[in-house]
Amino acid sequence: MVKISEDKMLKKVVAETKKLFAEFLTQMGLDSDIKVAVSKSAKEESAQTVAGAADSEKSTDAVESEETDSGASVYPKEDVHYVNVKLEGEHLNELVGYHGRNLDAAQTILGLILSHRLDSKNYRLVLEINDYRERREKYLLGYAERAALQVRDSGQELELTPMKPAERRVIHLALKKEQGVVSKSIGEGEERRIVVSKV
């Protein structure tokens, strides 16, 4: 079997990804600027899961044990490349959906199709639409800061709204930097949420 060079493989990944998204958007009756970049890190998830979870030993243990609902490892394998796809355009908000649910579903499904087309599991798709994930992360960081302030001022425990695992990780890691408060996750499945308490 002839081994394809890394440079040729990356070109193939970019070409296949653009082709896949052009087909997807055409079927959806949408138009978008499609930007594709392949890297060793995930733009979308580096702060939320991969790099962020490695920041501290104690919070890492808590975050990993509590927030990997899917059973998947927080740490990527060394040979994994991230295919960062950024879509920008009008009328794409439906693809994002409520709290990014449609975006996550599209990322999962299109990621599986891309892996099949490339005949490789070494490429993970990270999809961003109109900077939704970036804006959502900023909101979550502010939410964590406000929650910490409220708990410190009132001395009362505060239960946050249910969130997806990646979003809970953002909150846990942000609260770890806040003095005088601790966080834990409670509940199951889609009802899993964070409780913030005073130390």
Long-range contact set of residues 181-185: C-beta below 8 Å, sequence gap at least 24: 181/147, 181/148, 181/151, 181/152, 184/62, 184/66, 185/66, 185/67
Residues 15 and 103 in one domain: yes
Residue 50 has pLDDT above 80, yes or no: no
Task: Give 51 or 68, the one with higher predicted confidence.
Answer: 68
Exposure on the CB side of residue 127, measured as CA atoms within 13 A: 23
CATH label of the domain that carries residue 173: 3.30.1370.50
Query: What is the distance between the alpha carbons of residues 114 and 3, in angstroms, rounded to a whole number?
Result: 20
The pLDDT value recorded for residue 49 is 33
3-class state of residue 163 by DSSP: coil
Task: Give 60 or 152, the one with higher predicted confidence.
Answer: 152
Among the candidates 132, 158, 174, a domain finishes at 132
The dihedral formed by the CA atoms of 15, 104, 173 and 57, expressed in degrees to the nearest 10:
-70
Q: Which domain holds residue 185?
A: 136-198
Among the candidates 110, 132, 154, a domain finishes at 132
pLDDT tens by residue, 100-123: 999 999 999 999 999 999 998 889
Residues 11 and 104 in one domain: yes
Residues 107 and 177 in one domain: no
Contact 160, 143 (CB under 8 A): yes
On whether the pTM is more than 0.85, the answer is no
- How confident is residue 42, by pLDDT bands cut at 50, 70 and 90? low
Exposure on the CB side of residue 1, measured as CA atoms within 13 A: 3
Residues 87 and 16 in one domain: yes
Residues 41 and 17 in one domain: yes
Residues 116 and 20 in one domain: yes
Residues 140 and 108 in one domain: no
Residue 44 has pLDDT above 70, yes or no: no
CATH label of the domain that carries residue 13: 3.30.300.20
The pLDDT value recorded for residue 78 is 56
Structure tokens at 144: 């964590």
Q: Per the domain annotation, does 69 fall within a domain?
A: no
Q: Per the domain annotation, does 121 fall within a domain?
A: yes
Q: How many domains does the chain have?
A: 2
CB under 8 Å to 18, separation ≥6 — which residues?
34, 36
Residue type, 96: V
- Mean pLDDT (the chain) is 82
Residues 144 and 126 in one domain: no
Among the candidates 108, 132, 156, a domain finishes at 132
Residues 10 and 106 in one domain: yes
Percent of the chain with pLDDT over 70: 79
Structure tokens at 145: 């800061």
Q: What angle do CA 100, 41, 64 make, to 5 degrees?
A: 65
Task: Give 54 or 129, the one with higher predicted confidence.
Answer: 129
pLDDT tens by residue, 146-164: 999 999 999 999 999 999 9
Q: Per the domain annotation, does 181 fall within a domain?
A: yes
